[in-house]
Structure 1
């Protein structure tokens, strides 16, 4: 059932669908006159159509919400600056054109862009920026990045953010990871934490034109400050499995897809219009509900069990069976080997072992009192060393990981019980802490500084007891005052030498405790069809992170691509 229609389709249409699961977003080609037409043929009115795949569509355009639909951040709502994590580059001005800190890092003065309009025609000003940050300040549930600023608009193009303490490290999250909302709309919203913002008004290159539970459509913003995009329309359509994605890609229905597809190179070998790039940046990891003090239950609350899992898994085999050979080495520090070597203090922690060390895993478990049972599963004080590990139905590579790790961990007396659930159930379980083990990925913070990996996943302020929503990201319920103090010290300085000293402290603690157990740096495969649309990011020109699900970058890509001649 169609819920709303804002404007008719125009000359060129980009049809896109987005998977709620991060690994299954795709853009697919179909006719704008007939969304179900898979041919991608010219409709007679010059329309070009492409699509992006989703799983279940649940409307939510709230840029503060962790479950907002993918185009919300970067396509509809914009940040002050954009940080390209695919390349070494200075931040790109978006809704701001300049910024300056005071000497002690407690005030950040931002110059906002002139001539920008909200999609309802109202002017954008510095007052909207001040309102956004003050809304976050007075609504702690919205503060998922640890932002501590209050703001004042000095004039229409100047806003000053004031911090209670030295806060240089908040710069990327403030400038590059916060969507700005219109004061004239959001000042009338009673509860910004739950409102789905069903008629979103943003400054981005596209606006929502149609929405239903089966599909939704974004149409280009004619008054966009950076010029009207060359593509008129983006249609998001459900595709909920790797098989469906593969079939749509080969049939020519997909123009932009970020999905792990088994046998990808062979799959597209005979189609010159389809290519792909691989930009590994996410550490596939076993998330553990680690803190018994905060209500976690199960053997995974024992650090020895987590260490044994780390040593027992065979990452080379996992890459072959589940990663398609595209994965890279992971680090127990959760930083990215190669990119982040300068931040990793102990050379032994640059990368996790490729193969299993069964002897070490057994030794750790023996020392912790876990005795091998007659059924091949260890026990301690009557508790079997058995844990459930969840992943999302349709995430084929993660499902393969679970199947393979079940066999690998059995060799050291650990019983792994895989379960597949819908994305919403998986996300809710992880957020509420009602899981034992969960497969997920870590990476791509506001910048490549380790602070943005560590603050969300390891600081106590970003977690809560089981049964409460840990929306700030510390799903493991990890709490360690040594880590907290080190991160707070790093945040209080712009001196990278001091920061590195503090990250060394963090790394020593988390490598021992392993609340997040790294598997490998997962492939980030993005597939393109160039027969209808060109200008996609490439390895030679990584002008944006190419993944369709990447917040902020998707808006950059949709501005750059053009209809094929």
Structure 2
């Protein structure tokens, strides 16, 4: 059993649940000890209500700096600080207004005008205005170390409720990063912070539904923001984040009623639920588990995987139903060869044949592809071509039990078509460095969530040749598959220069045609994102039928939306 990853950088997992992601625990019982059985939060008592998130982490490090997304504690983004809009990546919905109520672009996409919400106050009681929004984006512009989204704009508040961002060129595709992925900070606080790149922001002042109360390395507490702008919310008075040593401890806390919210892959979850009627869960498959390939010989990749025929054969030789059963617990969703999410993104997938991957192995087709490409089987059953064995090394991280299971099963599946797969397990740092620098053949990883559901935010990072590099150089921008295709580059440039969805769909159709043929990232399945709840004291969680937010405890921004929707159980 292991908890879900705390976050993804360019789609990859972390070994542990970092504080910014999943160390959160909303508990009804104090972390210093004691049972929840005597807690006064039940019976619909909103006045004394509290909630707990369970996570798997060691001692927590105090950091509420919203510009340090990788190390800031859970709840910093979305619970204490808010963006202008909320983007629900669990479904295909329009952005939800938060600190802004409207926005518009000029005709050439070089200016974005934003209307800010009236009547908002910071948690210290000071009024919020467009000046705070302008200050936030100018701070990013003037401090490159904070500008992780590559924002190339300056901002000006034209009045208390209007801010205009001006870009150097057409910038429609910066919209979700600006509107939905940037915490707005108070100018009256941050103008006095000497170094915003290092300050841990011990006493955060935000506009979110909760504000800071107390911190220890084992737990920290947020309390209701009395100045919150949304009438009647939040109802729950207190949020407690705790650290638990193991995933087993988190599971035990959930079933014992000492924790209310956790994200973990629990084997036998359905049986567990039968024995605990007070528990529920939501599954939000969103990360495409894939075989990454170092694909370009021109950029220095070496090995049989540089042959598109080999990549295609691997794609068809997989028995994904078996992989889901053995490694995904049966909770994984069907992937798409386009790398989009079939349920959420069906309207963006041009060819119906590419909506989902084959679920069973088509060894006949894989054999046909390899035969046509000149890979012939030897007496040992392994293929070769021009004296080169069709032998490939695939790396994953030690301790990732589900991915280790995938690789071991793939070894058997690919052997049936004459491919010798050699799984290796590495420390995370070595695995990550290999992928980033291109010093690998195959790597098991996942394609993460983009800034919005628009395919541009998947395709630009993974397929644009501007985001890759020669083997030996860093491709930290995302295209670690060393994929380079001028046709794809041109289509992405055209799609990125417009906000006309019809034009974008036509360009994404071109991208999809090319990448399905070239397959630099070979999709396996959409990895499950299981989140479990205890409904004894608190209700209102997302459900499989109502994914009003991405419920995972490690998902920034969404936590604030979930907390605002909770009420004490009757």
1:194 Cα deviation after fit: 6.5
Whole-Å Cα distance in 2 between the matches of residues 510 and 270 of structure 1? 46
Judge conservation of contact 1:40–1:48 (CA < 8 Å) in 2: no
Whole-Å Cα distance in 2 between the matches of residues 48 and 320 of structure 1? 37
State the partner residue of 2:53: 51
1:557 Cα deviation after fit: 0.6
Instruction: Please state if 1:235 is matched with 2:241.
Output: yes
Judge conservation of contact 2:51–2:259 (CA < 8 Å) in 1: no
State the partner residue of 1:353: 358
State the partner residue of 2:337: 332
Instruction: Please state if 1:72 is matched with 2:76.
Output: yes
Please say which of residues 346-355 and 374-383 is displaced more in the overlay: 374-383
Whole-Å Cα distance in 2 between the matches of residues 295 and 128 of structure 1? 47
User: What SS is found at the alignment partner of 1:406?
Assistant: helix
Judge conservation of contact 2:254–2:260 (CA < 8 Å) in 1: yes
Residues 147-186 of structure 1 correspond to what in structure 2 (within 5 A)?
A: 147-184=151-188, 186=190
Cα deviation digits, residues 238-265 of structure 1 (max 9, x gap): 3544x44443333333311222212110
Whole-Å Cα distance in 2 between the matches of residues 184 and 301 of structure 1? 55
Structure 1 pair 204–449 and aligned structure 2 pair: CA distance change class (3 A): same
Whole-Å Cα distance in 2 between the matches of residues 218 and 330 of structure 1? 38
1:302 Cα deviation after fit: 4.3
Cα deviation digits, residues 307-354 of structure 1 (max 9, x gap): 332222110111222222222221110112243333222232221111
State the partner residue of 1:8: none
State the partner residue of 2:321: 316
State the partner residue of 1:40: 36
1:555 Cα deviation after fit: 0.9
Please say which of residues 138-147 and 436-445 is displaced more in the overlay: 138-147
State the partner residue of 2:268: 263
Whole-Å Cα distance in 2 between the matches of residues 398 and 551 of structure 1? 25
Please say which of residues 333-342 and 358-367 is displaced more in the overlay: 358-367
State the partner residue of 1:15: none
State the partner residue of 2:311: 306
1:95 Cα deviation after fit: 1.3
Judge conservation of contact 1:298–1:387 (CA < 8 Å) in 2: no
Structure 1 pair 165–378 and aligned structure 2 pair: CA distance change class (3 A): same
Instruction: Please state if 1:203 is matched with 2:199.
Output: no
State the partner residue of 1:7: none
State the partner residue of 2:406: 401
Whole-Å Cα distance in 2 between the matches of residues 240 and 464 of structure 1? 38
Whole-Å Cα distance in 2 between the matches of residues 273 and 509 of structure 1? 48
Residues 140-539 of structure 1 correspond to what in structure 2 (within 5 A)?
A: 142-145=146-149, 147-184=151-188, 186=190, 200-226=204-230, 227-241=233-247, 243-291=248-296, 294=299, 299-365=304-370, 385-391=391-397, 393=399, 395-411=400-416, 412-419=418-425, 421=427, 430-431=435-436, 436-464=441-469, 470-539=475-544
Whole-Å Cα distance in 2 between the matches of residues 450 and 198 of structure 1? 38
Please say which of residues 58-67 and 128-137 is displaced more in the overlay: 58-67
Please say which of residues 192-201 and 497-506 is displaced more in the overlay: 192-201
Structure 1 pair 171–530 and aligned structure 2 pair: CA distance change class (3 A): same
Structure 1 pair 278–44 and aligned structure 2 pair: CA distance change class (3 A): closer
Give the total of aligned pairs.
543
Cα deviation digits, residues 71-97 of structure 1 (max 9, x gap): 332123211011223445432211112
Please say which of residues 424-433 and 45-54 is displaced more in the overlay: 424-433
State the partner residue of 2:12: none
Judge conservation of contact 1:24–1:259 (CA < 8 Å) in 2: no
Whole-Å Cα distance in 2 between the matches of residues 196 and 371 of structure 1? 60
What is the Cα-based RMSD across aligned positions, in Å? 3.5
Structure 1 pair 400–201 and aligned structure 2 pair: CA distance change class (3 A): farther
1:35 Cα deviation after fit: 3.8
Whole-Å Cα distance in 2 between the matches of residues 417 and 261 of structure 1? 25
Whole-Å Cα distance in 2 between the matches of residues 245 and 403 of structure 1? 28
1:518 Cα deviation after fit: 0.9
State the partner residue of 2:107: 103
Whole-Å Cα distance in 2 between the matches of residues 523 and 56 of structure 1? 25
Judge conservation of contact 1:377–1:386 (CA < 8 Å) in 2: no
Whole-Å Cα distance in 2 between the matches of residues 479 and 130 of structure 1? 37
Structure 1 pair 392–228 and aligned structure 2 pair: CA distance change class (3 A): farther
Judge conservation of contact 2:92–2:344 (CA < 8 Å) in 1: no
Whole-Å Cα distance in 2 between the matches of residues 171 and 535 of structure 1? 30
User: What SS is found at the alignment partner of 1:71?
Assistant: coil
Judge conservation of contact 2:234–2:563 (CA < 8 Å) in 1: no
1:232 Cα deviation after fit: 0.8
Judge conservation of contact 2:323–2:409 (CA < 8 Å) in 1: yes
User: What SS is found at the alignment partner of 1:494?
Assistant: coil
1:561 Cα deviation after fit: 1.2
Please say which of residues 174-183 and 307-316 is displaced more in the overlay: 174-183
Question: Which of 93, 113, 116 matches 1:112?
Answer: 116
Question: Which of 9, 17, 20 matches 1:19?
Answer: 17
Judge conservation of contact 1:78–1:94 (CA < 8 Å) in 2: yes
Runs of 4+, deviation exceeding 6 Å: 21-26, 188-191
